Chains A and B, each alone.
Chain A
């Protein structure tokens, strides 16, 4: 086994009993995560992110396929895997009636540390994550950002090789989110491998060294954010045509599609999204073309490709609109 692959998953599958037969949540997920990477798992709600994460963290039995984490098989050596990984769930997991420090000490001791060691580590983490000021207050008095920092601290009490974070920034305001990103990068710089799920494009783009995009339980793309965006090739142009005249809009779409330099095009009513090598040069031409045929344009938008374009290209849907069918993925 390659020592630099901290997580290896092969054809992982999981289905849950549903009202009309089993529901396949994860349908053959394979991936490799290297040591010291921030690895992202990007997808809409209900795509199977949390389910995959829960299989990798030994919280959920695997139906088929295999996975090793830190060189250990999650199905056959769950206890050994547990001592090497940390996990911060969407819900957190802090005991509200206990203080932050009490939570940290208990967690350390559950990982086998002595009381003195656990206390020392709790102080250290409180200082590292800026919790010292309120470490002796009950968790129920914490703000969202403070609580999230405690959640992260609970996940790294035992200095795990891999830290799994499930939607770490959901519910955080921009300032706390930036703060969290800094902490994640700091952990990576200290050699921890980070595996995080997210449905925020910006987060995946800004934070992750590498990522996979998952949809309906399958991986649809994999790579560094920059590589993935390069695959989309060129710039995205979004044209909003007047759709009260359907015939004109259809004529416009047909015209655009016929242009040799238009690489890909998706149209939804009057909304046309297309990709060209050089947006700046193509735009005047496109506008003239439509104007000549009396197709009216409401607005034009030119952008460099985003991860949403990658998602759109792979699935035919925008990540911003996708999901929502299974909001309650936590329960799965």
Chain B
């Protein structure tokens, strides 16, 4: 109860701050829209397009964008944490009796709300260009997207608290971004790649989300990739949250 109330308070603060910082909003909205506008058209005339599943190219591409958005949204709280360390805000919260989990969960949940707003916009725009809506599938997908975002956010906040400065933090997250995104088949399915790539992808949690996203967006629930995604993301989600809460408790910040 106490933790829930404190989470609510810190959620409100973080969301207010996000809304008051229009730069983040513009960047947040423009990234997925740019992918849809400037990348999706390339797929249509791809010479190998025969290998791609039938149907609207957005049915294949849009779920990947949602996964990408979850991945990138999760990085936001990490960057904020670096600035909040600098301004003493983290210390100010840590010295109150507020639950350590609430200090972590408030910003994460606020970021999640923003992400779902972006997701809704992307889906709405996509639907306008022929993306077929399967509401139930998207609802299940939303749970997976939320979990991935929590994993990334908890990881990025903890990393920010441990590294404490923007350059080391940026080096770690940027170093991780590209291989994780490329090996997940966010833009094009990994199934197009050679065997070694397909094997390597199985060590990448994001890969499971992307695979599940494609089938769920098509309204299929029975596929093995759906439960595999839950099986991979659930423990990872719990693990990163525990780690991050511990870092906040002992932060040598």
A and B are partners in one complex rather than unrelated chains? yes
A106 within 8 A of B: yes
Task: Check B97 against A87 for contact (C-beta < 8 Å).
Answer: no
Task: Check A107 against B164 for contact (C-beta < 8 Å).
Answer: no
A221 within 8 A of B: no
A106 to B96, CA, bound (A): 11
| Residues in B218-253 with C-beta less than 8 Å from chain A | 250-252
A158 to B148, CA, bound (A): 38
Task: Check A89 against B21 for contact (C-beta < 8 Å).
Answer: no
A110 to B94, CA, bound (A): 11
A328 to B39, CA, bound (A): 46
A326 to chain B, nearest CB (A): 15
A98 within 8 A of B: yes
A261 within 8 A of B: no
A98 to B84, CA, bound (A): 13
Task: Check A154 against B95 for contact (C-beta < 8 Å).
Answer: no
Return chain B residues, CB-CB under 8 Å to A277. Answer: none
Interface string of B167-183 (1 = CB under 8 A from A): 00000000000000000
A85 within 8 A of B: yes
For chain B, the count of residues having a C-beta within 8 Å of the partner chain is: 24
Return chain A residues, CB-CB under 8 Å to B88. Answer: 89-94
Return chain A residues, CB-CB under 8 Å to B87. Answer: 91-96
Task: Check A98 against B252 for contact (C-beta < 8 Å).
Answer: no
| Residues in A80-109 with C-beta less than 8 Å from chain B | 80, 82-83, 85-87, 89-98, 102, 106-107, 109
A57 to B91, CA, bound (A): 10
| Residues in B74-110 with C-beta less than 8 Å from chain A | 86-89, 91-98
Q: Which of B12-20, B124-132, B136-144, B199-207 binds A?
A: B12-20
A112 within 8 A of B: yes
A79 within 8 A of B: yes
Q: Which of A58-66, A187-195, A228-236, A281-289 binds B?
A: A58-66
| Residues in B1-44 with C-beta less than 8 Å from chain A | 6, 9-10, 13, 16-17, 20-21
Q: Knowing A83-B97, A97-B21 touch, does A59 contact B9 (C-beta < 8 A)?
A: no
A128 to B159, CA, bound (A): 40
Return chain A residues, CB-CB under 8 Å to B95. Answer: 57-59, 82, 85-87
Task: Check B252 against A97 for contact (C-beta < 8 Å).
Answer: no
What would be 20 A-B contacts, judged by CB atoms less than 8 Å apart? A59-B91, A59-B95, A82-B96, A83-B97, A87-B91, A90-B88, A92-B87, A92-B92, A93-B87, A93-B91, A95-B17, A97-B17, A97-B21, A106-B9, A106-B13, A109-B9, A110-B93, A110-B96, A110-B98, A111-B96
Please list the residues of chain A having a beta carbon within 8 angstroms of any beta carbon in chain B.
16, 57-61, 79-80, 82-83, 85-87, 89-98, 102, 106-107, 109-112, 154, 331-332
- A-B complex: 4 closest residue pairs judged by Cβ atoms: A91-B88, A93-B92, A93-B88, A87-B95
